[in-house]
Structure formats: C-alpha cells, structure tokens
Chains A and B, each alone.
Chain A
Amino acid sequence: DTGVSQDPRHKITKRGQNVTFRCDPISEHNRLYWYRQTLGQGPEFLTYFQNEAQLEKSRLLSDRFSAERPKGSFSTLEIQRTEQGDSAMYLCASKTAATNEKLFFGSGTQLSVL
C-alpha cells in the first residue's frame, strides 16, 4: 500500500493558462474523489469516479474543469483558462467498498493563480 499520490505538489500559473493535475489512487481502490479546499475551509466535493465512470459532478465544477479516469486507474483534473478564484488545494481521495467508507487522501496539489 503506497498510498494516494498526487502530482505536482505545487503549481503556480498565470491567469488564463491551463493546468492539469494527476492522482494515482491506491491500486485496488475503484472509487476516486476530487475535492477542493480553500484556506480555512473544509474540503468541498468536486467529482466522483467509480472505475472509469464519472458518476457525479458538483455544481462547483464549471465547464472550465474536466476530470478523467481512463481505464479506471489514475485520474487527471484539468482546469482551463484559470482564474484567481481557482487558487486552492486540490485533494484526491480513493476508497473501495471494503474499507468501510474510509477515505484515503493524497497530499494534495496547491494551485496558485497569479
């Protein structure tokens, strides 16, 4: 069990640029979540995958955001035409039904949009 890994740890970009984050869940976990966390707040749900299927998306996920999980393994979260309001920590978490609802989190990607 190598844990959930996220890449990069930090990303600084200029407003209007596109960014892509990657999440590698624990290998046997078929459920994957993306959350966004701003300073002083708890994580907010963005989207959820079961295997390769994206089953739910939050209204927070505007059309500038897209997430994929090809082949039900790693996942990517892309933000197009970034805005300063996109600055946040983006957390990935994974689980399987056998873990009694226990979410395993990655260390997150801290995005700063200048």
Chain B
Amino acid sequence: AQTVTQSQPEMSVQEAETVTLSCTYDTSESNYYLFWYKQPPSRQMILVIRQEAYKQQNATENRFSVNFQKAAKSFSLKISDSQLGDTAMYFCAFKGRDNFNKFYFGSGTKLNVKP
C-alpha cells in the first residue's frame, strides 16, 4: 500500500520569505504522480503543483517549486516570496499510474504566513 508522510504539522514564515514543506512517500510502483494541494480556511482544496515521476525536471508554478528526489522518495514544496494568502493547510498526495482510482494524501502541514 502507498503511504504519504508529512512530518511537519505546522510551520510559520514571515511574509516575503521562503519556506519549504517536506513530504516523503512509500511505494513499489515506478510510475506515479505526486501533488501538493492547498486547503485554505474556506475549505476548498486546490491543486498547487504536480510532478510526474518519470520526469527528472522539478516542476515549477510561479512562486511554487518542488524538489523531487525519486531515489529518496522525497517530494518537498518550496514557496518563495510568501504571501499572506498562502496561509493554509498543505497536503502532499500520491497517485500511481497503474491504479487509476486512488489518490493518497498525507496528514498535512499548516502554514502560517506572518505579516
């Protein structure tokens, strides 16, 4: 079974600074997708960034980038120039390419951006 672990329950960062959220996962599959989802206090989860395991290049979306280390099964999210609107729960998620049904989520990291 796949597992996703987020070892940082809560983090804080000053506005305009950079923060990195950690995620590790366990799988026996070779082809899969990894995601970071954001859940603001309004509750609706939205996709932040997505990485395909067969791609060596780390994904980037504006201020958000990932550090994907396949051998170490590590997938961290870096948020640059943090903004107050980045305050939210962040969930790391895994989906195998062979199992088209399930997305597995970590327990989340609560990020507080301080003015």
The distance in angstroms between the C-alpha atoms of A43 and B45, with both chains bound, is 10
Contact B101 A48 (CB under 8 A): yes
Task: Judge if B47 is at the interface, Cβ distance under 8 Å.
Answer: yes
The distance in angstroms between the C-alpha atoms of A43 and B47, with both chains bound, is 14
Nearest Cβ distance between residue A4 and chain B, in whole angstroms? 8
Partner of A106, one of B9, B44, B105: B44
User: In the complex, which residues of chain B have a beta carbon less than 8 angstroms from the beta carbon of A108?
Assistant: 43-44
Q: Mark A72-83, 1 if CB is under 8 A from B, else 0.
A: 000000000000
Interface size grouping (class) on chain B:
20 to 34
Partner of A45, one of B6, B45, B47, B104: B104
User: In the complex, which residues of chain A have a beta carbon less than 8 angstroms from the beta carbon of B35?
Assistant: 101
Task: Judge if A98 is at the interface, Cβ distance under 8 Å.
Answer: no
Partner of A42, one of B4, B46, B95, B101: B4
The distance in angstroms between the C-alpha atoms of A35 and B39, with both chains bound, is 14
Q: A91-B45, A101-B33 are in contact. Are A40 and B101 (CB under 8 A)?
A: no
Q: Mark A90-109, 1 if CB is under 8 A from B, else 0.
A: 01010000001111011110
The distance in angstroms between the C-alpha atoms of A91 and B105, with both chains bound, is 13
Task: Judge if B80 is at the interface, Cβ distance under 8 Å.
Answer: no
Task: Judge if B60 is at the interface, Cβ distance under 8 Å.
Answer: no
Task: Judge if A62 is at the interface, Cβ distance under 8 Å.
Answer: no
Contact B91 A43 (CB under 8 A): yes
User: In the complex, which residues of chain A have a beta carbon less than 8 angstroms from the beta carbon of B37?
Assistant: 103, 105
Contact B102 A45 (CB under 8 A): yes
Task: Judge if A67 is at the interface, Cβ distance under 8 Å.
Answer: no
User: In the complex, which residues of chain B have a beta carbon less than 8 angstroms from the beta carbon of A103?
Assistant: 37, 45, 47, 103
The distance in angstroms between the C-alpha atoms of A100 and B43, with both chains bound, is 23
The distance in angstroms between the C-alpha atoms of A93 and B6, with both chains bound, is 22
List residues of chain B with CB under 8 Å of any chain A CB: 4, 6, 9, 33, 35, 37, 42-47, 50, 91, 93, 95, 101-108
List residues of chain A with CB under 8 Å of any chain B CB: 33, 35, 40-45, 48, 55-56, 89, 91, 93, 100-103, 105-108
